[in-house]
């Protein structure tokens, strides 16, 4: 007997929505040799400047062990620098290089154009409502 669900599969819908949105962004990322994870790291650094690695992991939603590999590849490719935090030598901070910031600037135009298209297609109020609902779901599901 199949289980009866009263509600749609929200996690699956959120993943489908993410993949639908990323389908527009990925070609631009690939043209610049970036993975989704590398773009998330560059976006965090582009928005916040020099950031402690733990914050990068949290904001880019990349687990620590995976982040280590992502950052190593990005450093090798000249997109980021890593160094000890001058205020706390136990911590490492990450910053985008000029090349990394150029990529953020270049890709941000394509990303913003897609968001403008979404806003026009969905309507400004609907897109704002979507953002607000997603923020509410995130807040609601935070551990107590």
Name the one residue in this structure whose structure tokens are 């990303």: 111
Give this prediction's pTM: 0.88
Reported as type and span, the H/E element at residue 56 is helix 53-60
pLDDT tens figures, 89-143: 889 999 999 999 999 999 999 899 999 999 999 999 999 999 999 999 999 999 8
Q: What is the DSSP letter of 34?
A: -
Question: With 0-12 CB in 10 A as exposed, 13-18 as middle and 19+ as buried, what is 62?
Answer: buried
H or E element: which one contains 90?
Answer: strand 88-96
Q: Six-digit token pair at 73?
A: 């590849």
Task: Indicate if the pLDDT at residue 2 is higher than 80.
Answer: no
Question: Can you tell me the distance from the alpha carbon of 122 to that of 124, in angstroms, rounded to the nearest whole number?
Answer: 7
Tell me, what's the pLDDT at 99?
96
Residue 67 has pLDDT above 90, yes or no: yes
The pLDDT of residue 85 is 84
The strand order across the sheet containing 51-52 reads: 51-52, 88-96, 80-85
Q: What is the DSSP letter of 123?
A: -
Instruction: Work out the burial of residue 92: count CB atoms within 10 Å of its CB; fewer than 13 is exposed, 13-18 middle, 19 or more buried.
Output: middle
Residue linked to tokens 């913003």: 112
What does the pLDDT look like over 7-66, one tens digit per residue?
Answer: 999 999 999 999 999 999 999 999 999 999 999 999 999 999 999 999 999 999 999 889
| Percentage of the residues of the chain whose pLDDT score is greater than 90 | 85
């Amino acid at each position: 007997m199949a289980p009866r669900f009263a509600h749609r599969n929200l996690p699956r819908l959120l993943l489908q929505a993410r993949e639908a949105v990323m389908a527009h962004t990925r070609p631009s990322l690939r043209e610049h040799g970036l993975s989704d994870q590398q773009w998330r790291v560059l976006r965090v650094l582009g928005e916040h400047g020099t950031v402690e690695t733990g914050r990068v992991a949290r904001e880019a939603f990349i687990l620590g062990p995976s982040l280590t590999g992502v950052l190593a590849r990005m450093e090798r490719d000249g997109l980021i620098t890593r160094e000890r935090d001058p205020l706390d030598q136990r911590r490492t901070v990450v910053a985008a290089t000029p090349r990394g910031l150029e990529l953020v600037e270049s890709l941000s135009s394509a990303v913003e154009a897609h968001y403008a298209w979404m806003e026009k297609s969905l309507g400004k109020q609907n897109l704002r409502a979507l953002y607000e609902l997603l923020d509410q779901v995130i807040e609601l599901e935070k551990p107590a």
